[in-house]
Chains A and B, each alone.
Chain A
């Protein structure tokens, strides 16, 4: 006995993966091939209750308990049990490899037909079928054999093939005018015990007749489709030790609509092998045996034995072997007297890293042939736990070629095909040699943050769908909003280099702002005003300008311009977005003309007041003097910002209106002409402070700075008081 789940990598080998070239074959199954619909018809007549005469010893006595105990007589399965368990195995493999759009309709036939499920996707599971089969139970040996026949089931199968599947219905609706492109083909697998070749011919004729009848019926109906092609696979099952009364017959054409083949097999093991081969043929499957799987044995913890596990999957996973003709080189072996082939691939350590992006040309779902054997379940559990295994193609030359990878995604195991030939894309010019390759100050980290915010997540289909758009469209819309103003390089931006702007920059891109968001944005703006008042330095790039870069005032002007540009691109989004813009326009330092005048005024004041000033003012003064020298550089900077505005990514030119508003605020000041520094300062502080809070209702409505108290007592509704009393910060 070995412990399950103790697969251990035994040895470490370094393996390099070669990233090869694309690989695609157009031979993939058509959407509506015969494989789309399979009707199973299983004979439930009294003779199916007969024993298969294949005995199973289920009481395996251990040596220590052997004395004195009479072992239980071996049990044997009936023909019915054999037929049912082999058909369920067929379904299990099919559903593992094709969870969608390869449908089964299970029909049981005795004195009448019993349809156990429908074509609907939700009915496609072995559990559903097992439950329905349990309800049917084994055949009743006492039933009158005269009224029982598999024919009832076969007729029902043809009728059922005329019924539309969900996919057929959906595609017909989608294609509209070209709905006739949706084909209706299907296969009937009949498991029965036929009496003779004549009996088989009778069954075939009967199906042919039903086909014609049903197609006539379907021609006049919207809910039915005529069958264009039907494949009958008749499996005659007989007990061990008996002679086959029916002979094998390869596929032959009965009519343009119907082909038929007959397989005559003994019940039990032979039947299982037959149906395993059939499911591979019917659904283009192939077999891979994973060899050299190291597993620790429970009794000898230090040793480990190697095991093999056989998997089934779509045969395209072997495309490369088929084409290059080295199927045998790849370790293909024939088993079961040449009926079945498997390709051997070697387990390869070390495991691969999940964050590595392999160049993979195909991924195919697998199903273990022997699902509940120890080695199989060890391998599948190992993979289901999230680990991946690289597989090596054995080659005569001894060179190591990794050709496949086993990996699970969301509880499903896939065989990935990794191509192993030379890449046509090798040695490309590096991205640093191309356009934009010489630029060194890209905002890589910021864009990384941007990508994290724009990651995707599955959205349930039932979720409300604003504006009838798909979630992916909303993801694109979000990208559009987030990139309305997004400078690509560090030296092109000031605001995105400032921690202080982050709260606003993160919020303004949202589709809808809450009242709280607006407050946060406003706070950010006040904070900037505060910084400006304190003369905090800004992270303005000095790239392109000689010397120390623009003067502090100028820096703030650039910053405010950029902030305004950012917010302006969103202002039309909602009234709240507009309010953020209004706040900036109202709070930002004065427009350039104003600034100029101020400068002139201050120049004079400076000269007068310099002796009184303490050291803290000096840096600004120096900056001021520098700024005269750097006027040229400044203009250049301005030009650059103009250039940015003109790029297609930039927002439309500034709307002048808000700026007029600010001029209205300070008309008196303007009229006075030159003012003292103190006056200028206090005024500025007052203005700045006034932006931080909502003005007292009393003061705004005051006359000559006198306000009437308890106005609300006059009018009955005191709503306004409450509103004004609330702190607006």
Chain B
């Protein structure tokens, strides 16, 4: 989930923080301090996140496009200049543009809005924006909600008492609600100082940027992993089950399926599964600070050299062209597979299926997938020539069966012509003739279309009179037999108009 940091650089951010100490801080300095802390954390623990930095006052500017280079972001922070007044609406328009240009409109994004809670004055202020929400022309719509799923974190370099003296808090809450409600407003606790800003950003990190650690199990084989990006909680149906579902920290492999059988399934999200070394000794060992960098190198080298289950699994999934079905929670599954980024680089990936007992109709219920050893005969065949998948539905779809639809006149005409074409090729086409005839009869009976039965009966009668002298005598018998049966059915006599009955070919002595 990419992050956009939206930094308020209006004049109000330069307000000094009243402190007893000799050093003088502006709110901006505190904000920069907090963001520095966030960037440092991400560089160390969440470095695959793409982050961009937008600064805004009455205008907005993209200072750093999406990047994983946290040094660039830091550098941009230290070169911030001061501008005029706060205008959140234009900044949000900027965010919407920046994100959609890079990631399209469906990629979920996190927005970290850093401001001081003075939300502008007059036209362009947040208050004004919210008041005029309903009086907008189509081309000047308020940018929230964004077209992409959003998590909005509002970081106020101000404490809540300060915000509540004005309507700032109410306006920010309204903003959060408009964004879709997913996110949070953070304020500073107590005095405005470096410590409290650290605490505030610390809460943000815990909430949104703590790495998701899990253990991947395959029977007794296991590996500690980080799942990136963090899997988000999912609400399936807020009416029946309003509790969000969370991915377990124990990911259990259920079994394996061929790539061709799983067949490009729909997934709700994709994640990298990165093996991690859990270093327990690190806490115990208390060596001098000077030696630490060297220690780290050797520790990561050690980790590289000791066998890891993820690497084994990845290698075999790649070679065999298979995926591992993994259980994420009760009735929630996903798949692990090898994803190649380039010729050389490939990775273990996990895709999550929609929560539910049967995420993919062609696999059936996942709980009812069992080991092949239970089957009397290997369902894949001795030479892997067969497959138990896809699971067939009990009822065929309309396009897979020969349904009759006469909504367009052409549908009806085609069906009648088919019968006539076969009628002219009797007795060779006796089987097809009666098959088509019965199909038409069934539909006509269901639709209560007796006029048609009579009409086709007349047509067959006419065909009978038009038979050439060279025609096989059987043809005339079959045609008049069919015509008679249709007329009887059209009269509505239950004996002849039963749906499940078919007109059978007349038995003649000409069969040779």
Interface residues of A (CB under 8 A from B): 19-26, 30-32, 56-60, 65, 69, 72-73, 75-78, 80-81, 84-86, 88-89, 92-93, 95-96, 99, 125-126, 129-131, 133-139, 171, 175, 181-183, 269, 272, 319-320, 323-325, 354-363, 365, 367-368, 370-373, 376-377, 380, 384, 405, 407, 409-413, 416-417, 419-422, 424-439, 442-445, 447-448, 450-461, 470-476, 478-484, 486, 488-489, 492, 510, 649
Q: Measured between alpha carbons, how far is A519 from B388 in the docked complex, in Å?
A: 32
| Pairs of residues from A and B, 9 with the lowest C-beta to C-beta distance, nearest first | A436-B308, A471-B370, A421-B104, A138-B448, A23-B106, A410-B390, A483-B219, A21-B107, A134-B499
Smallest Cβ-Cβ distance to B379: which chain A residue: A457
Binds A, one of B169-177, B200-208, B449-457: B449-457
Q: Which A residues touch B397, using CB under 8 A?
A: 95-96, 99, 365, 367, 411-413
Which of B104, B218, B363, B416 meets A483, CB within 8 Å? B218
Q: Beyond the given A57-B409, A131-B446, A470-B368, could you list 14 further A-B residue pairs with CB under 8 A, ordered by the A residue number?
A: A65-B466, A171-B240, A363-B264, A371-B403, A373-B411, A419-B104, A419-B106, A427-B341, A435-B311, A439-B305, A452-B384, A457-B371, A478-B373, A479-B218
* Chain A residues, Cβ within 8 Å of B403: 92, 126, 371-372
List residues of chain B with CB within 8 A of the CB of A479.
218-219, 253-255
- Of the candidates A21, A425, A436, the one whose C-beta lies within 8 Å of that of B307 is A436
Least CB distance, A5 to chain B, in whole angstroms: 13
Could you say which of A80, A365, A411 has the most chain B C-beta atoms within 10 Å of its C-beta? Answer: A411
**B363 — which chain A residues lie within 8 A by C-beta?**
458
| Complex A-B: 24 CB contacts under 8 Å | A85-B406, A138-B450, A183-B239, A324-B147, A360-B265, A410-B390, A411-B396, A412-B393, A419-B106, A421-B104, A428-B272, A431-B314, A434-B276, A434-B304, A435-B277, A438-B305, A451-B322, A454-B255, A456-B370, A457-B372, A471-B371, A482-B219, A483-B218, A486-B221
Contacts of A75 in B (CB 8 A): 449, 451-452, 455
Q: How far is the CA of A613 from the CA of B205 in the complex (A)?
A: 77
- Which of A126, A325, A417 counts the most B-chain CB atoms under 10 A from its CB? A126
User: Residue B495 at the A interface, CB < 8 A?
Assistant: no
Could you tell me if B364 and A447 are in contact, using CB atoms closer than 8 angstroms? Answer: no
Interface segment out of the listed B19-27, B79-87, B345-353: B345-353
Residue-by-residue, is B292-312 near A (CB-CB < 8 Å gives 1, otherwise 0)?
000000000101111111111
Contact A92 B398 (CB under 8 A): yes
Pick the most buried of A20, A362, A447, A484: most chain B CB atoms within 10 A of its CB. A447
Select the residue from B260, B371, B443 with max chain A CB neighbours within 10 A.
Answer: B371
Residues in A with CB closer than 8 Å to B178 are none
Contact B252 A360 (CB under 8 A): no
CA distance A362 to B411 in the complex (A): 33
Q: In the assembly, what is the distance between CA of A138 and CA of B497, in Å?
A: 12
Return the contact of A447 from the options B149, B304, B312, B445 (Cβ within 8 A): B312
- Residue numbers in A under 8 Å from B366 (CB-CB): 472
Interface string of B463-480 (1 = CB under 8 A from A): 000100000000000000
Beta-carbon contact of B372 and A456 below 8 Å: yes
**Are the CB atoms of B266 and A472 closer together than 8 Å?**
no
Residues of B within 8 A of A182 (CB): 240
Nearest Cβ on chain A to B102's Cβ, whole angstroms: 6
Q: Verify A22–B264 contact, CB threshold 8 A.
A: no
- Specify the chain A residue showing the minimal Cβ separation from B323: A357
Contact B239 A24 (CB under 8 A): no
Expressed in whole angstroms, the Cα–Cα distance for A484 and B220 within the complex equals: 6
Contacts of A417 in B (CB 8 A): 266
Q: Is there contact, CB below 8 Å, between B264 and A435?
A: no
The answer to whether residues A320 and B315 also contact, given A438-B305, A451-B322 and a CB cut-off of 8 A, is no
Minimum CB distance partner of A140 in chain B:
B492
Query: Which chain A residue lies CB-closest to B416?
Result: A58
Interface string of B331-374 (1 = CB under 8 A from A): 00000010101001111110100000000111111111111111
State how many angstroms separate the Cβ of A74 from the closest Cβ of chain B.
9
Q: In this complex, what residue of A is CB-closest to B392?
A: A410
In the bound complex, CA of A427 to CA of B340 (Å): 10
> Which residues of the partner chain B approach A183 to less than 8 Å between Cβ atoms?
239
- Alpha-carbon separation in the docked complex, A478 to B253 (Å): 11
Q: Which residues of B contact A357 (CB under 8 A)?
A: 259, 262, 264, 323, 337
- On whether the beta carbons of A430 and B405 are closer than 8 Å, the reply is no
Chain A residues with CB below 8 A from B346, complex form: 430-431
What is the bound-complex CA distance between A644 and B465, given in angstroms? Answer: 93
What chain A residues lie within 8 Å of B268 (beta carbons)? 22, 24, 361
* A436/B310 in contact, CB under 8 A: yes
Within 8 A of A (CB), among B263-296: 263-272, 274-277
Write the B426-452 contact mask toward A (1 if CB under 8 angstroms, else 0): 000000000000000011011111111
Are A425 and B260 in contact, with the CB atoms below 8 A?
Answer: no
Is there an interface contact between A478 and B392, defined as CB atoms closer than 8 Å? no
Would A422 and B103 be within 8 Å (CB), given that A412-B397, A455-B256, A457-B375 are in contact?
yes
- Chain A CB within 10 Å — which of B2, B48, B218, B391 has the most? B218
Neighbouring B residues of A19 by C-beta, 8 Å? 339
Q: Do residues A355 and B321 form an inter-chain contact, with CB atoms below 8 A?
A: yes
Taking a contact as CB atoms under 8 Å apart, the answer to whether B388 and A84 are in contact is no
Central interface residue in A447, A453, A472, A649, by most chain B CB within 10 Å? A472
Does B104 contact A21, Cβ atoms closer than 8 Å? yes
Nearest opposing residue in chain B for A410, CB measure: B390
**CB within 8 A of B106: which of A22, A26, A57, A411?**
A22
Q: Which residues of A contact B316 (CB under 8 A)?
A: 444-445, 447-448, 450-451
A residues near B325, Cβ cutoff 8 Å: 456
Residues of B66-86 whose CB lies within 8 A of A? none
Asked if B105 is at the interface of the complex by the 8 Å CB criterion, the answer is yes
B412 part of interface (Cβ distance < 8 Å): yes
B185 within 8 A of A: no
What are the residues of chain A within 8 A of B259 when measuring CB–CB?
355-357
> Are A436 and B264 CB-contacts (below 8 A) given A371-B399, A451-B317?
no
Residues of A within 8 A of B274 (CB): 428-429, 434
In the complex, what residue of chain A is closest to B402 when comparing beta carbons? A372
Across the interface, which residues of B come within 8 angstroms of A370, CB to CB? 405, 408
Q: How far is the CA of A78 from the CA of B451 in the complex (A)?
A: 9
- Say whether, besides A69-B462, A483-B221, A410 and B393 are in contact (CB < 8 Å): yes
Q: B103, A21: Cβ atoms under 8 Å?
A: yes
Is A30's CB under 8 angstroms from B221's CB? Answer: no
Contact B446 A84 (CB under 8 A): yes
* B189 is an interface residue with CB less than 8 A from chain A: no
Residues from chain A with a CB closer than 8 A to the CB of B379 are 457
Shortest CB distance B187–A (Å):
28
A371 touches B240 (CB 8 A): no
Choice from A60, A85, A376 contacting B413 with Cβ under 8 Å: A60
Tell me, in angstroms, the Cα distance from A380 to B456 when the chains sit together: 30
CB closest residue in chain B, given A174? B240
Contacts of A355 in B (CB 8 A): 259-260, 321
